[in-house]
Amino acid sequence: MKTLMKTMTLAAVLLSSTAAVAQDKPKIGAAVYGLNAEFMQLWAAALEDHPAVKDGLVDVTIFDGRYDALVQQEQFETMITQGYDAIIFVPIDIEAGAEAVQLAHDAGIPVFGSNTRVNSDLLNAYVGSDDVQSGYMEAKYVLDQIGCTGNVVVIEGPIGQSAQIQRLEGNEKALAECPDVEVVEQQTANWSRAEAQTLMENWLTAHPGDIAGVIGQNDEMALGAIEAIKAAGLSVNDFAIAGIDGVTDALLAVKADEMASILQDGAAQAQGALDLAIKAVNPDYEPMSKIWEQYPDMPWNGGSDKEYNVPWTPVTLENVDALLEMRQ
């Protein structure tokens, strides 16, 4: 017990001393929905890698929301109590996140959305990518490959999540352009590779030789479909398969010419949101991230836009090696 008390006192002293040192630097918190999957880790790594953080111009703290809207809200309360200057928010839930934004707004702290949307007009700005567009792009790829004729299957994300809804909208937009293509199966595999594998195994049995294309709403599920095809003793090259996100395994599969993937640039979403957050605290600030040069289609505009749309990058045999290099 005594040791515990000592540790706690020590921790308190340490905490207050770091707070004192950091007082003149803008303190920015990033509340992300969860750090268990690769995508958000790349996002978080990019945030820590931002030139302003590396040069010590700002202090950034990342809070792991552990996939729970309530945890995220409590982290907002913590940040408000500790007097953070700005918050970057990647919500788990489009609706439940609104309350957290309201709390920060009431405390006069600007909030910037990144990656996933929140249903609130109190957000200062949002930096993300348009999921309808990626859904359209991946479906278009599959349909082009099969010559706009034949049967396809759609493997969906968890029904009701904003990415699933929007990517499906994009899928359907592309499918509408190919009236001869029939969607023979459409079901959720909850972003999971193992679930998609089981689903695809069963579909291959139910429609032998009848499936030409696989539209996976993320890479993991497209990869599961590839494993199912291999397990059934079929050739992956006989199928047109696409996924979204550009996770490392998908990049490797693109390199092996097994699927197509569309890279969602989480790093740009993170760094863009941080530039905006610093600008909100320090009006003289000029953006330091390279992303504004990298994406001429997404102009900085003095940091005054409400919405910044990070373009999607189709992963091709030409750029896949460079993208893999960046992951090392």
Partner 1 sequence: MMAAEASQNRDFKVIAAEYGQKYGILMALVLICIILTFANEYFLTGRNIVNVLRQTSINGILAIGMTFVILTRGIDLSVGSVVALAGIVSASLATTSSTAAVLGAPYAAPIPLAVGIGVGLVAGWVNGVFVARYNVPAFVTTLGMLSAARGMALLYAGGKPVPALTDGYRFIGTGSILGIPMPIILFALVFLGAWFVLTSTRFGRQVYAVGGNPHAARVSGINVRRVRLLVYVISGGLAGIAGMILAARTGSALTQAGIAYELDAIAAVVIGGTSLSGGVGKVTGTLIGALLIAVVNNGLDLMGVESYYQQVIKGALIIAAVMLDRARHKAE
Please state, in angstroms and rounded to a whole number, the distance separating the CA atoms of residues 30 and 18: 18
Among positions 169-188, residues that touch partner 1 (CB under 8 A) are: 185, 187-188
Q: Residue type for 214, please?
A: V
Q: Nearer to partner 1 by C-beta: 208 or 299?
A: 208
Provide the minimum distance between the beta carbon of 126 and partner 1 in the complex, in angstroms, as a whole number: 25
Instruction: Enter the tokens of residue 109.
Output: 């702290």
Interface region with partner 1, contact rule CB under 8 A, candidates 7-15, 46-54, 107-115, 224-232: 224-232
Q: Binding residue for partner 1 (CB under 8 A) from 113, 157, 224, 266?
A: 224
Alpha-carbon distances, residue 280 vs 72, 91, 302 (angstroms): 22, 20, 11
Asked if 236 touches partner 1 (CB under 8 A), the answer is no
Question: Under a CB-based contact definition with an 8 Å cutoff, are residues 88 and 64 in contact?
Answer: no
What is the DSSP-derived secondary structure letter of residue 311? P
Please work out the total of residues on this chain that contact partner 1, with binding judged by CB under 8 A.
Answer: 30
Q: Nearer to partner 1 by C-beta: 140 or 193?
A: 193
Please state, in angstroms and rounded to a whole number, the distance separating the CA atoms of residues 125 and 110: 9
Provide the minimum distance between the beta carbon of 190 and partner 1 in the complex, in angstroms, as a whole number: 9
- Measured at the CA of 232, the angle between CA 249 and CA 171, to 5 degrees, comes to 55
Provide the minimum distance between the beta carbon of 269 and partner 1 in the complex, in angstroms, as a whole number: 18
Asked if 71 touches partner 1 (CB under 8 A), the answer is no
Asked if 14 touches partner 1 (CB under 8 A), the answer is no
**If we measure between CA atoms, which residue out of 264, 303, 271 comes closest to residue 28?**
271
Length in residues, the chain = 328
What residue has token string 């509408």?
A: 176
- Measured at the CA of 49, the angle between CA 82 and CA 307, to 5 degrees, comes to 75
Asked if 237 touches partner 1 (CB under 8 A), the answer is no
Helices marked H in the chain? 2-21, 38-48, 51-54, 69-81, 97-106, 131-145, 162-176, 193-206, 219-231, 248-255, 266-281, 291-294, 320-327
Interface region with partner 1, contact rule CB under 8 A, candidates 110-118, 135-143, 194-202, 209-217: 194-202
Asked if 231 touches partner 1 (CB under 8 A), the answer is yes
Residue 118: HSE in the Cβ half-sphere, 13 Å Cα cutoff: 31
Question: Under a CB-based contact definition with an 8 Å cutoff, are residues 133 and 233 in contact?
Answer: no
Instruction: Enter the tokens of residue 87.
Output: 């918050």
Asked if 23 touches partner 1 (CB under 8 A), the answer is no
Provide the minimum distance between the beta carbon of 65 and partner 1 in the complex, in angstroms, as a whole number: 14
Q: Nearer to partner 1 by C-beta: 23 or 41?
A: 41
Instruction: Enter the tokens of residue 57.
Output: 């111009």
Provide the minimum distance between the beta carbon of 306 and partner 1 in the complex, in angstroms, as a whole number: 32
Q: Binding residue for partner 1 (CB under 8 A) from 61, 119, 162, 248?
A: 248
Q: Nearer to partner 1 by C-beta: 149 or 202?
A: 202
Asked if 68 touches partner 1 (CB under 8 A), the answer is no
Q: Binding residue for partner 1 (CB under 8 A) from 27, 50, 117, 193?
A: 193
Among positions 29-58, residues that touch partner 1 (CB under 8 A) are: 35-38, 41
Residues that bind partner 1 (CB under 8 A): 35-38, 41, 185, 187-188, 192-194, 197-199, 201-203, 205-206, 208, 223-224, 227, 230-232, 247-249, 252
